[in-house]
């Protein structure tokens, strides 16, 4: 058995030391009693996160499977070649040059002419990926939703679903001059392709199609069915694209009928010195709140001391002042899994997080682990664990 496997086996048998746990709890209880005696106003429910043993994070808490290597020769060589880079740059650049914009005020599909650019985009894909279009089944859902099916040989396996949207957000005319390279130029500077969609999400869409095109060219035949699903209004919440594609797929494959869904969002990232594949999760929901302040009218020469603008400003200040707590749900939030895996595998995992990893939020919502993670990771991490605004003061 190699040392790594031996270590894993030993760690799999790890059990907390009951004696040590009892002793440390006794010390904590004594400390709490002292606190209660000396600070009778202290909220004792806020110290529950102390009731944990010393964290021991092992690789057994984040076990890894052996990597799978496709039985295709020369694919690495193909993907690393200059010719392939040029080809993929051209494919992505061409996609960026088609302004497939979804606007907030778009009318119904088929009525609003601004949807018609998606015909051009679909035609571009057809010309750019001839094998995909010759060998996969393409169905069109709600006019511009593209659904490709690559039938696998084993019907008992649930399919893999790969997704990426075709649309991009608009570019306000006033900001066009501020772009280093025009937003629909698809300019390649030797390192990056510039323009709308080059990183959200035509990079992913062309990467998926390029991969399938290359696999077809190499004669690959999947055991498991592969589905490619591409909506066309993700940037305006996806009602016309994913809103039709999702029920279509649900109808065809049933609930939990897909093995894995890979969509935009988190991809690979180097986290504390280790490359991690980050899980894609459902997006947070959101609510738009319209606030109208009504005040008695008057004349600006004799204004009231407090105007509607002042009242609204106070309201906004109150909203900002009453934040939801930062809490990391240990059961349902996948960020906790990332912390555990980082603790087990990442060489630069911070000690301050390591020692809090087994703590739990207190009953009053104080979560030291979440707060420390937010402090280290910034807002991008904080809002994985917190509702990003609050109207709590209205109901409290
Ligand atoms: Zn996107």
| Tens of pLDDT, residues 3-41 | 334 333 333 333 333 333 333 333 333 333 333 333 333
The active-site residue out of 167, 235, 263, 367 is 167
* Rounded mean pLDDT, 61-84: 84
Q: Is 234 a catalytic residue?
A: yes
170 within some domain:
yes
Residue 346 is assigned to a structural domain of this protein: no
- Residue 59 counted as domain residue: no
Cα of 234 from ligand 1 centre, angstroms: 7
CATH number at residue 103: 3.40.630.10
- Tell me whether residue 125 is in a domain: yes
Asked if residues 219 and 213 have their Cβ atoms less than 8 Å apart, the reply is no
The total number of structural domains in the chain stands at 1
pLDDT of residue 298: 84
pLDDT at 10: 35
In this predicted structure, what is the pLDDT of residue 55?
A: 52
In a domain, 102, yes or no: yes
Q: Of 223, 222, 114, nearest to 168 (Cα)? A: 114
Tell me the mean pLDDT in the region 68-97: 90
8-state DSSP, 393: H
pLDDT in tens, 235-254: 999 999 999 999 999 999 99
How many other CB atoms are there within 10 angstroms of residue 96's CB atom? 26
The percentage of residues in the chain with a pLDDT greater than 90, rounded to a whole number, is: 65
Mark whether 200 is an active-site residue. no
Question: For the segment 170-201, what is each residue's pLDDT rounded down to a tens digit?
Answer: 999 999 999 999 999 999 999 999 999 999 99
Q: How far is the CA of 200 from the centre of ligand 1 (A)?
A: 5
Provide the pLDDT for residue 288: 81
Radius of gyration of the chain from its Cα atoms, rounded to whole angstroms: 27
Domain range spanning residue 101?
Answer: 75-264
- Does residue 32 form part of some domain? no
* d(CA 107, ligand 1 centre) in Å: 21
Q: Is the pLDDT of residue 345 over 90?
A: yes
Alpha carbon distance 349, 274 (integer Å)? 9
Least confident of 267-271, 362-366, 371-375: 267-271
pLDDT at 56: 56
Kindly state the DSSP code that residue 203 receives in the 8-state scheme.
H
Instruction: Please give the Cα distance from 245 to 263 (Å, whole number).
Output: 14
Asked, for residue 27, whether it belongs to a domain, the answer is: no
What pTM was computed for the model?
A: 0.70
């Amino acid at each position: 058995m190699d040392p790594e496997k031996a270590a894993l086996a030993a760690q799999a048998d790890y059990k907390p030391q009951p004696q040590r746990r009892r002793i440390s709890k006794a010390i904590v209880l004594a400390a709490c009693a002292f606190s209660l005696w000396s600070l009778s106003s202290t909220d004792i429910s806020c110290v529950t996160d102390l009731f944990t043993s010393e964290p021991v994070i092992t690789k057994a808490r984040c076990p890894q499977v052996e990597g799978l290597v496709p039985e295709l020769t020369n694919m690495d060589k193909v993907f690393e070649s200059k010719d392939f880079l040029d080809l993929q740059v051209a494919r992505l650049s061409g996609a960026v040059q088609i302004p497939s914009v979804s606007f907030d005020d778009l009318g119904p599909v088929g009525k609003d002419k601004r949807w018609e650019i998606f015909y051009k985009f679909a035609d571009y894909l057809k010309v750019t990926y001839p094998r995909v279009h010759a060998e996969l089944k393409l169905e069109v859902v709600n006019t511009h939703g593209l659904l490709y099916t690559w039938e696998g040989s084993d019907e008992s396996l649930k399919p893999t679903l790969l997704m990426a949207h075709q649309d991009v957000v608009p570019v306000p005319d006033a900001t066009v001059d501020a772009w280093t390279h025009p937003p629909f130029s698809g300019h390649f500077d030797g390192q990056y392709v510039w323009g709308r969609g080059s990183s959200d999400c035509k990079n992913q869409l062309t990467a998926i199609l390029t991969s399938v095109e290359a696999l077809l060219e190499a004669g690959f035949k999947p055991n498991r069915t592969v589905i490619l699903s591409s909506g066309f209004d993700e940037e305006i919440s996806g009602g016309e694209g994913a809103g039709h594609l999702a029920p279509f797929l649900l109808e065809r494959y049933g609930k939990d009928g897909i093995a894995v869904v890979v969509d935009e969002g988190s991809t690979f990232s180097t986290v504390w010195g280790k490359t991690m594949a980050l899980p894609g999760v459902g997006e947070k929901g959101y609510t738009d709140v319209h606030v109208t302040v009504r005040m008695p009218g008057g004349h600006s020469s004799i204004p009231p001391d407090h105007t509607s603008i002042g009242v609204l400003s106070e309201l906004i200040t109150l909203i900002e002042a009453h934040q939801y707590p930062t809490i990391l749900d240990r059961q349902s939030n996948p960020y906790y899994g990332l912390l555990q895996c980082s603790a087990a595998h990442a060489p630069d995992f911070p000690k301050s997080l390591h020692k809090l990893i087994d703590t739990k939020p207190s009953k009053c919502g104080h979560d030291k682990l979440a707060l420390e993670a937010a402090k280290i990771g910034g807002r991008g991490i904080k809002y994985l664990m917190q509702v990003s605004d609050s109207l709590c003061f209205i109901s409290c």
